[in-house]
Amino acid sequence: MKKYILTLLAVTFACLAAHAQEYTISGTVTDNEFEPLAGVAVFIEGTLDGTSTDEKGRYSITVEQGQVLEFSFIGMVTQKVTIIKNTRIDVQMEPDAIFLDEAVAIGYGVAKKSDLTGAVSSVKAEDLQNAKIGTVTSALQGLAAGVHVSTGSVKPGGDATVIIRGAGTLTASSAPLYIVDGIPVEGGLQDLSSSDIQSIEILKDASSASIYGSRASNGVVLVTTKKGTADKMRISLNASYGTQRMLNKQDLMNAQQYYDLVSYAQPDDYTWSSEELRLLSRGESTDWQDAITQNGSYQNYNFSISGGSEKIQHYFGLDWYDQIGTIKNSSFKKLTARYNMDAKMNDWFRYGVRFNVIESTLKNINEESDPLYGTMFSAISAQPTAPIFTEDGEYFDGFLNTKANPVAIVDLLDRTTLKSRVVGSFYLEIEPVKNLKIRSDNGGELVFYKTNEYEDERMGQHYTEGGHAKITSSKKRYWQTENTVSYDLNVEDTHKLTVMAGFSASMTEYEDVVADSKKLSSILKYWNLQGAEEHGPNSSYGVKSSLVSFYGRATYNFKDRYLATITMRGDGSSKFAPGHRWGFFPSAALAWRISEESFVKDNVNWISNLKLRASAGRLGNQEIGDFRYAALITLGDPTANYVFGNALASGAQQTNISNPDLTWEKANQYDVAIDFGFLDNRIAGTIEAYYKRTSDLLWEVPLPLESGFGTSLTNIGKIDNRGIEFSINTVNISKRNFSWTTGLNFSVNQNEIMELYNGKTDVNKDLFVGKPISDWYLLKNLGIWQINEAAEAAKYGAVPGDRKVYDRNGDYVINGDDRVFCGQSSPKWYGSFTTTFNLYGFDLSAFFTFAGGHYINNDLRRYLDSYNVWGNMSENYYKYYWREDRPNNRYPAPRVGSAYANGDGTDANLEKGDYLRLRNLELGYTFSKKMLKIMNMRVYVAVQNVFTATEFTGFDVESNSNSNPYPNARSFIGGISINF
């Protein structure tokens, strides 16, 4: 108030003392999205003269030539403009590298970012736009330290895998818990439309995640969708279109090379079919990779409208996503509609709904889960001497790889997965006493999956004559009720206390049915199974699980300097044995905002934010199958069924022994961090270290094999994950028409098995105490036996040209005892780098991701880089295989029966997984509202996967299948977004 009076006085005085050069300058202040900013302080530097912007962001002030105008607003970088005869100065403000007053979702509530005590990474909605093709899960890549997202499957409709702070589990799932508007979502965020998302928070440490105790040991991803706006109606339209070019096509032999090699290696064994000879005689060759691939395309249209009044606010969003894959006949289409409403009936009663409907259609003919059966692998291994069509115009059949004609597959295979999903919730909130809120949030989801499959008999001899149709249909039903009470206490802004307590219950019911029929109408396909001549095997399945939880949280804030949070959650899960169902997951955290202390605030003005925080707590994991604690008897499994009198007899067998002690997997996690902001938060970031010990690991402990039960799910052992996360965002330049920002995050994780069970130091030479979970333990490849080593080679039964394998114990027998440790398969470090320039309405951004320190078993090399009697090989193999007249150490000689030639069991096919990828490069131009009157509009072009620097030679360094990959693509995208 005082300041205001002073300002008024100053302005008055300034007017009185007006000079001749004085004149009035005016303009509009907008944010970086060209939305007007109200309340921006506009001062003349070095004076107390100033004003502030009105609701439409307008200001006017009297100035003199040469003075400097200073624009400042909370959460924005202060801007200075020197007056040179201007009469109008429009300013666009750039947000701070960190916006401390931002409200952040923390689960069952929100907190100001400055008040956080735990490790919460916030992802801004606009950052998700770095990834246009693919899912929201994959868009998270590189956006938060400590969160490792690998592309996983790039097929249309495929999703990424997320691991937060290292895998700390052996059997149970290592995926984080995804919560969208309070409702847990299984399997990632693939159904969401990124335009509907307001923010994503990733809860990484025990303190922040333990409010979701039972399921939080892998971290929590909290998604909040957009709300309606109270002030005015906003309409936004986005459209983008792109084309995709397949990357990393493998260089394989052509027909002539293949013919030469086979004739050299197996002069008498191979009988060339007349079709192959026909192709060879014409000098032709079939490029199977080309034959099954195409340029993909992608389009995404999005429309949203939001608005309302003080009383009620609405948001409606509609999104259409359509991708045609680079493998023919694969595509993904998705329609998403969302309606969110929040209403305030009176001072003490609010209510609202969240409603989301998703329909998608996936056509996929390349099942990566079938590594040796998929379309891509069939194409890679099909011999180039085989024609696509025979002389009679039929699909060529009879491939050495025993697979179907890849082109027949992409032409004829009809496999469509339809998914319909409805998610909704409504809440009621009353405030009977000021600051006491009682809230009940209730919701659920219904998901229907249906896969229709038809295999045409023309696909080849392995396919059922008369056709084969299969329908898989499943349904998931989930409901939950969450009820919380919270109270805010504020004693003279010195003591601020918030307490929250709640109760929730949820139930999941899943069921599926498979109908399988053969010999049916090729016209009616899967729509008329009753017309089939053969039925079965059919199957059905159903399972339920439930969870009951009590939870509470207290946060205390003393003078904005000292912050404390205590969280407690108790969960009861149906997955565990009676008597062991309840788990308790407490945590505590402390934070000290050093920058609020007077000795910093008053003395060190370049420090704008400095916070020290520490947390400790316990989290749980229950992601295992249901009823694993009970003795189970399976009926009708094919390995138990038998045949009597030439008819099927179904068998029953015990498949699980009871484990009455089965209980939660627990992770104790400790976390220390420094959050910093320097120079008006132009430089802001976090350095964080964590240590997570998972104990009572849920693991399939081998039982004595003689029991007839392979394993029993048991709580055993310990795994440690420790790591450091570093992230920094900077606003390097923030000028009126030019700004430059950068962001970097980098994470290091170390994983180590600390204890197994019964004092064992290893289990089956697969898991080792003192090593990471994902360590490779293999024979060591030493290259190729050379001519002058023939005598030594003979001791191993090898001849020159065979693969030379390290005989560790020197016993002249190569076996499992000679294995050595060969590095780990999960990255040791990963992160991202992003930089954005804004210049006179143009924006240019580049987004890089990187990871490394790991080795990938590229099993494609197993087939391509050694003599393969049933499929094509790499061109390099043809050029460089070992021959007496061209000895080398690269590839073994093409000799049938050459031991270890394909590298199986050795490290020969391990490749360094390090990579740096320019994931997105984007150039845009924004037409401001000023230019277009009623709207602003941004147009952009982007290139994704511009380049990847890596030594990895497979299709994609991030793919989880190497032998049957869905090829990654370079995408060229153009788009427009309009906001009214």
Q: How far is the CB of 400 from other proteins (least distance, A)?
A: 6
Give the shortest CB-712-to-other proteins separation in angstroms.
Answer: 9
CB of 215 to other proteins, least distance (A): 15
199, 184, 227: which is closest to 136 by C-alpha?
A: 199
CB atoms within 10 A of CB 527: 13
Question: 206 or 662, CB closer to other proteins?
Answer: 662
Closest separation between CB of residue 816 and other proteins, Å? 4
What residues does 803 pair with on adjacent strands?
784
Main-chain phi, psi angles of 797, to 5 degrees: 70, 20
Q: 294 vs 898, which CB is nearer to other proteins?
A: 898
Which of residues 426 and 980 has its CB atom nearest to other proteins in the complex? Answer: 426
Which CB sits closer to other proteins, 629 or 678? 629
Q: Which is nearer to other proteins, 462 or 930 (CB)?
A: 462
Closer to other proteins by CB, 622 or 979: give it: 622
Provide the b/e sequence for 869-881 (b: ≥16 CB within 10 Å): eebbbbebbbeeb
Q: How far is the CB of 431 from other proteins (least distance, A)?
A: 13
CA separation (Å) from 532 to 387, 528, 539, 772? 33, 8, 17, 52
Report the C-alpha dihedral over residues 124, 958, 362, 964, rounded to 10 degrees: 180
Between 475 and 760, whose beta carbon lies closer to other proteins?
760
Q: How far is the CB of 587 from other proteins (least distance, A)?
A: 23
Residue 578: partners with Cβ closer than 8 Å, 6 or more residues away = 660
What is the closest distance, in whole angstroms, from the C-beta atom of residue 777 to other proteins in the complex?
A: 11
Please, are residues 802 and 784 in contact by the beta-carbon 8 Å criterion? Answer: yes
Q: Which residue's CB is nearer to other proteins, number 332 or number 399?
A: 399
Comparison of 543 and 604: residue with beta carbon closer to other proteins: 543
Could you give the C-alpha distances from 400 to 280, 384, 386, 867, in angstroms and in order? 17, 11, 10, 13
Residue 130 exposed, middle or buried by CB count within 10 Å (0-12, 13-18, 19+): buried
Q: Which long-range contacts (CB under 8 A, 24 or more apart) does 13-18 make?
A: 14/47, 14/49, 14/62, 15/62, 18/62
Q: How far is the CB of 278 from other proteins (least distance, A)?
A: 16
Place of tokens 């409603």: 355
Q: How far is the CB of 171 from other proteins (least distance, A)?
A: 16
**Tokens for 718?**
């310990």
Residue closer to other proteins, measured from CB, 797 or 974: 797
| Nearest approach, Cβ of residue 904 and other proteins (Å) | 5
Please state the closest distance from residue 568 (CB atom) to other proteins, in A.
16
Question: Toward other proteins, which CB reaches closer, 421 or 575?
Answer: 575
Q: Nearer Cβ to other proteins, position 631 or 790?
A: 631
Q: Which is nearer to other proteins, 262 or 362 (CB)?
A: 262
The alpha carbon torsion through 166, 169, 172, 175 (nearest 10 deg) reads -10
The 10 Å Cβ neighbour count of residue 125 is 16
Is residue 142 a contact partner of residue 851, using CB atoms and an 8 Å limit?
no
Q: Which is nearer to other proteins, 708 or 770 (CB)?
A: 708
| Smallest separation, CB 449 to other proteins (Å) | 17
Q: Which amino acid is at 529?
A: L
Distance in angstroms (rounded) separating the CA atoms of residues 720 and 754: 7
CA 100 from chain centre, in angstroms, equals 26
Cβ distance to other proteins smaller for residue 658 or 742:
658
Q: How far is the CB of 663 from other proteins (least distance, A)?
A: 13
> What is the helix (H) or strand (E) element at residue 503, kind and residue range?
strand 495-518
Closest separation between CB of residue 656 and other proteins, Å? 9
User: CA–CA distance from 552 to each of 205, 265, 390, 486, 498 (Å)?
Assistant: 17, 72, 71, 9, 11
Per DSSP, the residues of 248-307 read ----B--HHHHHHHHHHH-TTT----HHHHHHHHTT----HHHHHB--EEEEEEEEEEEE
Rounded to the nearest 10 degrees, how much is the dihedral formed by the CA atoms of 830, 861, 879, 787? Answer: 110
CB of residue 794 vs other proteins: minimum separation in angstroms? Answer: 10
Rounded Cα gap, residues 662 and 575, in angstroms: 9
- Looking at beta carbons only, is 71 or 881 nearer to other proteins? 881
- Report the nearest approach of other proteins to the CB of residue 167 (Å): 23
Among residues 82, 72, 61, the alpha carbon closest in space to that of 18 is found at 61
Q: Are 74 and 62 in contact (CB under 8 A)?
A: no
Tell me the Cα Rg of the chain.
32
Separation in Å, CA 161 to CA 146, 187, 850: 14, 9, 15
Residue that the structure tokens 């005016």 belong to: 26
CB of residue 820 vs other proteins: minimum separation in angstroms? 15
Degrees (nearest 5) of the Cα angle 408, 246, 850? 135
Nearer to other proteins, 258 or 399 (CB): 399
Q: Is residue 729 within 8 Å of residue 77, measured between CB atoms? A: no
Determine the Cα–Cα distance for residues 91 and 77; give it in Å rounded to an integer.
Answer: 12
Q: How far is the CB of 277 from other proteins (least distance, A)?
A: 14
Q: Token pair 């219950």 is at which residue?
A: 505
In the complex with other proteins, the residue whose CB is nearer, 235 or 635, is 635
Q: Strand 468-491 and strand 436-455: pairing?
A: antiparallel
CA distance 421 to 264: 57
